[in-house]
Chain A
Amino acid sequence: MLPLIAQRIVATIPVMGVVALTVFALLHLTPGDPAEIIAGDYATPQDIAKIRAGLGLDKPLLTQAGIWLGNVLRGDLGTSIYSGLPVTTLIGQRVGPTVALTVLAVLISVLLAVPLGVLAAWRQGSWIDRSIMIFSVSGFSMPVFWLGFLLVWVFSIRLGVLPVQGYQPLADGPWQFMRHLILPAVTLSLIYMALIARMTRASMLGVLGEDFVRTAFAKGLSPRSVLLGHALKAASLPVVTIIGVGFALLIGGAVVTESVFALPGIGRLTVDAIVRRDYPVIQGVILIISGVYVLLNLCIDVLYVVLDPRIRY
């Protein structure tokens, strides 16, 4: 098992190398002078020269690529043009709310979507199945921020039971923390829930026709124990995969959700950086998030072996 994990880790290195080079190339592939674009419409030639020197844009392209990769490997993601702080510091300050939001959203989605998917597969073709599937396809189709505003309008403005926006760290007490986080987390979880429920159902449908499921029913086990104990375990691989793949959607949704609920997370940082054309921050955030995405899928590859001992790479 250990050599297998090592092999998977080695396989992610070229991917991350390409991500780092892509992020670097983003700045250089656009038409025109990136320093001018970043400086904006009202910049003086001195401002532009300063930005050019600050980003090292006056050096030859290959040298720049080398410096960028070297710095990234040493954990230096550059300095924000707007605030003058290191990008790693900025990301560190903002990571809390984003982690809290995404973890809560994943918990909500998995806890609700997996049982819904199992139920839909078990009652295939019934009105329960049909309503779960309609809910699922609607979940894909709803704009995340629109759903967020609908929830705010109902729960915060009409009923007045939850705060409209803002964030309270967990350190200030779990009650306030949850009150501020529950609407954003529900908003964000919907699309993920749709994805997981759909995949769980499809995967369970494949498994429910198998002999071992019939045997389990035949020997008198309760449906609950057959479905959750036997079938779900066999059907879990595609579900785990989609949880990993869906992380990209989740992060995209988190950027939008943080914007709706004014949560001071990585998403806000990104959007602010984009409005200010603060390129080192944009590059740093993309690199970190892609790294997390790749690592997460690496963990899932490893988890496969745990879930299904037959798998050997």
Chain B
Amino acid sequence: MSSSTPASATDGAALGAGSAAAMPQLPEVRRRGFIHRQPTMVAGLACLALILAAALAAPYLGTVDPSSLRPVTRLREPGSEFWFGADQYGRDIYSRTLYGGRISLLVGVVVGVASLAFGILIGLVTGYYRQVDRIIMRVMDGLMAIPAILLALALMALLKASVRNVIIALVIPEIPRVVRVVRASVLSLREQTMVEAARALGAEVPRILRVYILPALVAPLIVQGTYICASAMLFEAYLSFLGAGTPPNIPSWGNIMAEGRAYVQRAFWIILFPGAFLAATVLAVNLVGDGLRDLLKVK
């Protein structure tokens, strides 16, 4: 049963959870059941683990210095010496791809976490304090009306090309989307009896937010964070490809492909391999996100 099928998989997960609760199962059986119920999520996790391991262990996987220039080997075809070929400066694409993965994964994870952190903070405040809600939500609506890539590009035009600034430029367009999710939940939760009771008992606002409201947000935000991570990796590549992203001296999947674009006809491998890694990574993260959404029953 595919897990990327929202409704059916949710049913499946619900059924599975029900039967697991009804009769105690051996851990082994339960684990096999998980793979059976969520095959695509397991595939995504496995693929992600492989790519992460390859990026982290890059120095030990037969790579050379990803920036060493060797004019003799320029545009060498993929073969036994250069598994993924060499670019116009004779640099090894295999090494560049593995090292480049570090930047893409770093950008994805940091953008995901930072967007959630800022979004939660702003969302809790706007949802709970109605005085500031009006102003902040107007600003958020305005920010959301600007397509994310354009906003990120415009920010990059004013910032120096660096990994940190790419992260900033990608976090800002994501914040309003997190704020909306958080705010909507806060608005419905703050009217619930438990919150009313806590308030009557004299609980301070930070405690109410932390104890009664934040826990309910964990599941939807984990799922959203996963999707933000996936799209941040794509957007990093877009920015770098358009010449407004990670600086050329740091290999990232995006700027390896950007440098290869002039050689599409003669050396397609410069684009082919980093792009395939990027697509596989983003696909894996999206599959994990779909799986989490089904497991955590997030709509």
A: which residues have CB within 8 A of B?
14-19, 21-23, 26-27, 30, 34, 37, 124-125, 129-130, 133-134, 136-138, 140-146, 149-150, 152-153, 157, 164, 201-202, 205-206, 247-249, 251-252, 255-256, 259-260, 270-271, 273-275, 277, 279, 282-283, 285-286, 289-290, 293-294
Chain B residues in 8 Å Cβ range of A138:
279, 283
Q: Which segment, of B117-125, B182-190, B230-238, faces chain A?
A: B230-238
Q: Known contacts being A256-B238, A286-B151, is A19 close to B244, with CB within 8 Å?
A: no
Q: Known contacts being A18-B141, A133-B2, A279-B157, is A141 close to B146, with CB within 8 Å?
A: no
Chain B residues in 8 Å Cβ range of A125:
1-2, 5, 8
In the complex the two chains form, what is the Cα distance from A298 to B298 in whole Å? 28
* New A-B contacts (4) at CB < 8 Å, excluding given A143-B279, A150-B275: A142-B283, A146-B257, A248-B147, A290-B150
Any chain A CB within 8 A of the CB of B107? no
Q: Known contacts being A34-B158, A202-B7, A256-B238, is A149 close to B146, with CB within 8 Å?
A: no
| Residue of B146, B154, B158, B283 touching A137 (CB-CB under 8 A) | B283
By size class, the interface of chain B is: 35 or more
Chain B nearest CB: distance from A99 CB in Å? 16
In the complex the two chains form, what is the Cα distance from A19 to B276 in whole Å? 36
Q: Chain B 102-145, CB within 8 Å of chain A: the 1/0 string?
A: 00000000000000000000000000000000000011011101
In the complex the two chains form, what is the Cα distance from A252 to B235 in whole Å? 9
Any chain A CB within 8 A of the CB of B205? no
5 contacts between A and B (CB under 8 A): A130-B4, A149-B257, A252-B147, A275-B243, A294-B145
Any chain A CB within 8 A of the CB of B209? no
**Is A149 within 8 A of B278, CB to CB?**
no
The residues in B between 215 and 269 inclusive whose CB is less than 8 angstroms from any CB of A are 230, 234, 237-238, 241-244, 257, 261, 264-265, 268
In the complex the two chains form, what is the Cα distance from A256 to B244 in whole Å? 12
Main secondary structure of the interface of B (DSSP, over half): helix
Residue of A nearest to B6 (CB): A202
In the complex the two chains form, what is the Cα distance from A63 to B158 in whole Å? 22
Chain A nearest CB: distance from B172 CB in Å? 10
Residue of B nearest to A32 (CB): B158
Chain A residues in 8 Å Cβ range of B14:
none
Q: Known contacts being A14-B138, A143-B279, A157-B265, is A19 close to B148, with CB within 8 Å?
A: no
Lowest 10 A-B CB distances belong to which pairs?
A18-B142, A252-B149, A146-B275, A141-B283, A248-B147, A141-B282, A30-B158, A274-B157, A130-B2, A133-B4
**Is B278 within 8 A of A143, CB to CB?**
yes
| Residue of B8, B242, B264, B286 touching A256 (CB-CB under 8 A) | B242
